[in-house]
Amino acid sequence: MTHRFSRLRRASQAAFPALLLVLAGCSGPVLDPAGDIAREQRDIILFSTALMLLIIVPVIILIVLFAWRYRKGRGGTYDPTFDHSTPLELAIWSAPLIIIIALGALTWSSTHLLDPFRPLSAKAQTGAQAAAAAGQPAQKPLVVQVVSLDWKWLFIYPEQGVATVNELVLPINRPVRFDITSSNMMNAFYAPTLAGMIYAMPGMQSRMNAILRRTGDFDGYSANYSGAGFSDMHFRLKGVDATGFARWLADVKASSRGLGLEDYRALLKPSERVPVLHYSRADTGLYRRILERCVEPGTACSSQVMMQDAMPGHRMMPSRDGAEAPKPQGAIFKENSRSTGSSLAPKTPAEHSPDHQ
């Protein structure tokens, strides 16, 4: 038996360096955040893991101890008539119940506190408060409009009048408000060092509030499968100070490329591994057109359609006898007036005629 334990100890010692290498791979962007929201999310992950280990580790240890203590053989306590133990039942059920309650409370509170639509908390505003205490004016949030394309990311800075493709540059210690939508396919905007993942959907707007605390080059991803170019749909996230952001803006505005409707229609074409592009001029109404899906010529924006539908005098097209035409119904709700065949069967030429009664 001693020989077996010595072999087990040597095997565990040999596996320990490999385990360290595996754990070293966990020190990625999620566990090395550069923003306040990402830092709070990392703390939740670590705290949840520690809570779960409170029950997992003792269970693993007790499995080994019970197997050794209650073995059948010399030195073991073998009791085939064992039936029930109240202290043991209390220990088995109370500890997991307490941990589940703690995890539920943590999940509920963090879900509301880290709501991406919610403005940054007072904790996230410490940088702005420190700047105000030093006599510097408080900065309002930087607005960045994010559009998911196939297969690239478009970032529009409406207040600065510039736009980029696959490059997001943010000043540190300044709150940022992201308005997020998609061109034609559901996607997910994910910058793990900045904040969590949030979906981008066509015709809808998501919002995320975040702040970056340190300079550096980070990676952003598409976190929802969207076709052939999904694996290369990355963007570069750069954290710079105020001087660096002003310098970057000057470099972008020095570009001769502009972003209007025609330029955006060209970007709509699916393309993979698109390099970083800078646009010195961005159409101020472009994001609204993308959101309301009226980029193509002759397409009415959704706000115009809803406004027209909400007008008091708006009525459905009248029929030939002057009465209001009935609300159209799908074929599944229509009664079959034919004695044979389906209601979806082709009509005769006489039935297509306008004079057919």
Boundary (domain end) residue, out of 256, 291, 326: 291
Q: Outline where the chain has alpha helix (H).
A: 2-24, 36-69, 86-113, 126-133, 242-253, 261-267, 286-291, 302-310, 349-352
**Same domain as 144, residue 183:** yes
pLDDT (0 to 100) of residue 3: 53
DSSP secondary structure, 264-316, as one string: HHHHTS--SSPPPEEESEE-TTHHHHHHTT--STTPPPHHHHHHHHHSTT--P
Same domain for 199 and 264? yes
In a domain, residue 307? The reply is no
| CA atoms of 306 and 301, how far apart (whole Å) | 9
Q: How far apart are CA 163 and CA 261, in angstroms?
A: 13
Which value, in Å, is the radius of gyration of the alpha carbons in the chain?
A: 31
81 in a structural domain: yes
User: What is the domain extent for residue 157?
Assistant: 139-291
Residue 33's closest CA among 211, 223, 174? 211
Please list the residues that pair with 162 across neighbouring strands: 157
Instruction: Tell me whether residue 22 is in a domain.
Output: no
Q: Tell me: do 89 and 150 sit in the same domain.
A: no
Domain count of the fold of the chain? 2
pLDDT, position 27: 53
**What do you get for the CA distance between the two ends of the chain, in Å?**
98
| 173 and 74 both lie in a single domain | no
In this prediction, residue 137 carries a pLDDT of: 60
pLDDT in tens, the chain (357 residues): 445 445 545 554 554 454 444 444 455 788 888 888 888 889 888 998 888 888 888 888 888 888 888 777 777 777 778 778 888 888 888 888 888 899 999 888 888 888 888 887 544 454 445 444 444 566 789 999 999 999 999 999 999 999 999 999 999 999 999 999 999 889 999 999 999 899 999 999 999 999 999 999 999 999 988 888 889 999 999 999 999 999 999 999 998 899 999 999 999 999 999 999 999 999 889 999 999 998 888 888 888 788 777 777 655 444 444 444 444 444 444 444 443 443 334 444 444 444 443
Q: What pLDDT score was predicted for residue 5?
A: 42
* Same structural domain, 228 and 270: yes
Please provide residue 207's backbone torsions phi and psi, each rounded to the nearest 5 degrees.
-140, 145
State whether 148 and 217 are in the same domain.
yes
Q: Which of 78, 113, 148 is the last residue of a domain?
A: 113
Q: Is residue 49 part of a domain?
A: yes
Coil/strand/helix, residue 10: helix
Considering the domain architecture, whether residues 275 and 196 belong to the same structural domain is answered as yes
Same domain, 272 and 189: yes
Residues 152 and 245 in one domain: yes
Q: Which of 244, 271, 291 is the last residue of a domain?
A: 291
My answer on whether 151 and 281 are in the same domain is yes
**CATH number, position 36:** 1.10.287.90
- C-beta separation of 149 from 187 below 8 A: no
**CATH at residue 196:** 2.60.40.420
Cα separation of 334 and 330, whole Å? 7
Longest CA pairwise span in the chain (Å): 102
**Token pair listed for 108:** 């509920």
Report if residue 260 sits inside a domain.
yes
Q: In what order do the strands lie in the sheet with 235-240?
A: 167-171, 235-240, 216-222, 187-190, 197-200
Phi, psi for 305 (deg, rounded to 5)? -65, -45
Among 291, 235, 295, CA closest to 260: 295
Q: What is the pLDDT of residue 305?
A: 81
Residues 66 and 147 in one domain: no
Together in a domain, 217 and 264: yes
Q: Strand, coil or helix: what is 255?
A: coil
Residue 173 lies in a domain: yes
Angular region, 310: left φ>0, alpha ψ -120 to 50, beta rest: alpha
Q: What pLDDT, on the 0 to 100 scale, is given for residue 119?
A: 82
